């Protein structure tokens, strides 16, 4: 006789069956860009693709059979920079955590001289910008073009009024940037067969007062510098900290200088060599009054243009007060026999 609640004498048998699913499929990988074509630009060529796998692990690419290898963070799209006037092979890879690999390749060619620039042309426009904006242009060789900008805003803050501008990598737009305040930019994009343009942009910190820039060899009798800047500051009296001058040291080097530190930002530059022009340059210091400087050779004012950059030794609360400060101006005069007649407006 058994006690209440004691286990039954009936036997219960259990069995466990393990089913293991084996993934034998590599990641699905489709490359959209670049295409099998000839590109007329060699920087920021888009690398666009789609990839999917439940165990996706990593993505990377190689250029020209391994001469360049780069990991694609989080398997996201990217851009690539390649050498000019040559062919390239891009191979894209994706693997999963089980070690399964998929790859695809594309070949393309780059020739940045494919855009012909036979005549002088000016494209221009006006754009409201808050942070970053762009204006479409007729595709133009950026190595034979430079951009000029003017800015107006509803305050005197450097983050509003100070801009950098550059052509987009596909050469069909001009990109403008400030530090996220509404302003209106008026711009002109000048292109011509006699122009040879090098450009770049440097990020600087709060303590930087000078930067050295190396460029390809120039004929300094035909060359000048255009400097633009965007300053990361919300204070009107910091405006002068974003004023930089550019000055050649020799035919392969120039320096960028400002007179005040304390704010960070980005300074951009364009070095233009203009064939068959005469460039005169100099440095003059203003101290609250009109100052004259002499040219070494007289010019025809109807066929000449003046470019200058400036830096200030004291801030000035408002833009209107800048001419009462100690102001160093680096200037350059460009003269060409029929410069006014050669420009035409297609915008």
Which letter does DSSP use for residue 187 in this model? E
Q: Is 197 exposed, middle or buried (0-12, 13-18, 19+ CB in 10 A)?
A: buried
* Euclidean distance between CA atoms 275 and 195, whole angstroms: 6
β-pairing verdict for 121-136 and 86-96: unpaired
Nearest by Cα to 331 from 298, 302, 308: 308
Tell me yes or no: is domain 28-113 CATH 2.60.40.10.
yes
Confidence of residue 6 (pLDDT cuts 50, 70, 90): low
pLDDT at 336 over 90: no
> What pLDDT, on the 0 to 100 scale, is given for residue 206?
95
Q: Which residue has the higher pLDDT, 333 or 313?
A: 313
* Domain spans of the chain, in order of start: 28-113, 115-342
Report the topology of domain 115-342. Answer: Jelly Rolls (2.60.120)
Q: What is the pLDDT of residues 66-102, one digit of tens each?
A: 888 999 999 999 999 999 889 999 999 999 999 999 9
Using an 8 Å Cβ cutoff, are 256 and 184 in contact?
no
Average pLDDT over residues 45-65: 95
pLDDT at 183 over 60: yes
Give the model confidence (pLDDT) of 188-237 as tens digits: 999 999 999 999 999 999 999 999 999 999 999 999 999 999 999 988 78
**pLDDT class for 5, splitting at 50, 70, 90?**
low
């Amino acid at each position: 006789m058994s006690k209440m609640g004691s286990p039954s004498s009936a036997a219960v048998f259990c069995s466990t069956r393990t089913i293991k699913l084996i993934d034998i499929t590599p990641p699905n990988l489709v490359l959209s860009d670049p295409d099998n074509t000839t590109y007329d630009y060699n920087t920021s060529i888009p690398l666009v693709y789609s990839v999917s796998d439940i165990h996706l692990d990593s993505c990377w690419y190689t250029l020209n059979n391994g001469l360049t290898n780069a990991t694609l963070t989080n398997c996201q799209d990217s851009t690539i920079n390649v050498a000019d006037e040559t062919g390239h092979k891009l191979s894209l890879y994706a693997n999963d955590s089980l070690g399964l690999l998929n790859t695809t390749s594309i070949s393309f060619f780059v020739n940045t001289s494919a855009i012909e620039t036979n005549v002088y042309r000016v494209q221009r426009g006006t754009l409201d910008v808050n942070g970053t904006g762009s204006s479409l242009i007729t595709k133009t060789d950026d190595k034979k073009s430079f951009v000029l900008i003017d800015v107006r805003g509803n305050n005197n803050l450097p983050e509003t009024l100070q801009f950098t501008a550059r052509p987009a990598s596909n050469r069909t737009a001009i990109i403008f940037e400030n530090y996220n305040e509404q302003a209106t930019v008026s711009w002109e994009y000048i292109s011509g067969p006699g122009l040879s343009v090098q450009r770049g942009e440097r990020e600087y910190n709060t303590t930087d007062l000078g930067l050295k820039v190396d460029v390809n060899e120039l004929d300094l009798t035909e060359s000048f510098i255009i400097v633009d800047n965007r300053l990361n500051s919300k204070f009107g009296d910091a405006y002068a900290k974003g004023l930089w001058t550019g000055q050649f040291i020799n035919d392969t080097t120039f320096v960028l200088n400002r007179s005040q530190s304390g704010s960070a930002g980005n300074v951009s530059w364009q070095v233009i060599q203009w064939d068959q022009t005469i460039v005169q340059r100099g440095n003059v210091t203003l101290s609250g009054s009109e100052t004259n400087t002499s040219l070494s050779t007289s010019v025809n004012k109807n066929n000449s243009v003046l470019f200058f950059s400036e830096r200030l030794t004291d801030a000035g609360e408002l833009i209107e007060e800048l001419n009462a400060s100690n102001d160093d101006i680096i200037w350059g005069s460009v003269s060409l026999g029929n410069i006014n007649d050669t420009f035409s407006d297609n915008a």
